A = this chain, B = another copy of it.
Amino acid sequence: MRIEIICTGDEILTGKTINTNFSHISRKLQEVGLAVRWGTTVGDDRESLIEAFRLAGERADTVIVNGGLGPTVDDLSQEIAAKAAGVGLVLNEHWLERIEALFRRHGLIMQPNNRKQALLPETAELIDNPIGTACGFELDIGRARFYFTPGVPKELHLMLDEQIVPRLLARGGTMTVARVKRFHAFGLGESHVDSLLEGIENLAPDSSVKLGFQTHYPELEIKLSVRGSALDELLRRLEPIEAEVRRRLGNFIVAEDDDTVESIVITTLARQQASLAVAETLTGGLIAARLAQLPGAESVFRRGLVAPVGSQLEYILGLAGGRLSAGPLNEEALVEAARALLIQSGATHALVALADHADGADLQAPGFTLWFAIATLERFAVRSSQPRLIGGDWLRAGAAEMGLDSLRRFLQDLPVYERIDFENA
Contacts and interface: CB of A to CB of B under 8 A. Distances in A.
A288 B284 contact: yes
A305 interface: yes
Contacts of A18: 18-20, 23
Interface stretch (A176-184, A241-249, A294-302, A413-421): A294-302
A291 B309 CA distance: 13
28 contacts: A5-B41, A13-B36, A14-B36, A15-B22, A15-B25, A16-B214, A16-B215, A17-B23, A18-B19, A18-B20, A37-B43, A38-B41, A39-B41, A39-B42, A40-B40, A41-B41, A51-B59, A278-B306, A284-B288, A284-B291, A284-B293, A285-B288, A285-B289, A292-B306, A297-B360, A302-B312, A303-B306, A303-B307
Interface in A12-64: 12-20, 22-28, 30, 35-43, 48, 51, 55, 59
Interface of A: 5, 7, 12-20, 22-28, 30, 35-43, 48, 51, 55, 59, 213-215, 278, 284-289, 291-293, 295, 297-298, 301-309, 312, 315-316, 345-346, 358-360, 392-393, 396
Nearest to A392: B293
Contacts of A30: 14-15
Given A37-B48, A39-B39, 8 more contacts: A7-B39, A14-B35, A37-B43, A39-B42, A285-B286, A298-B358, A301-B308, A303-B305
A303 B36 CA distance: 50
Given A14-B30, A286-B289, A308-B298, A42 B35 contact: no
Secondary structure call for the A interface: mixed
Contacts of A23: 12, 15-19
A26 B48 contact: no
A26 B39 contact: no
Contact of A303 (B7, B27, B316, B396): B316
A42 B48 contact: no
Nearest to A396: B293
A257 to B, nearest CB: 19
Contact of A393 (B51, B293, B308): B293
Contact of A309 (B17, B39, B213, B298): B298
Nearest to A301: B308
A302 B360 CA distance: 15
Nearest to A26: B15
Nearest to A359: B298
A292 B308 contact: yes
Nearest to A47: B37
A104 B17 CA distance: 41
A285 B284 CA distance: 8
A48 B2 CA distance: 12
Contact of A285 (B12, B13, B14, B285): B285
A360 B24 contact: no
A190 to B, nearest CB: 10
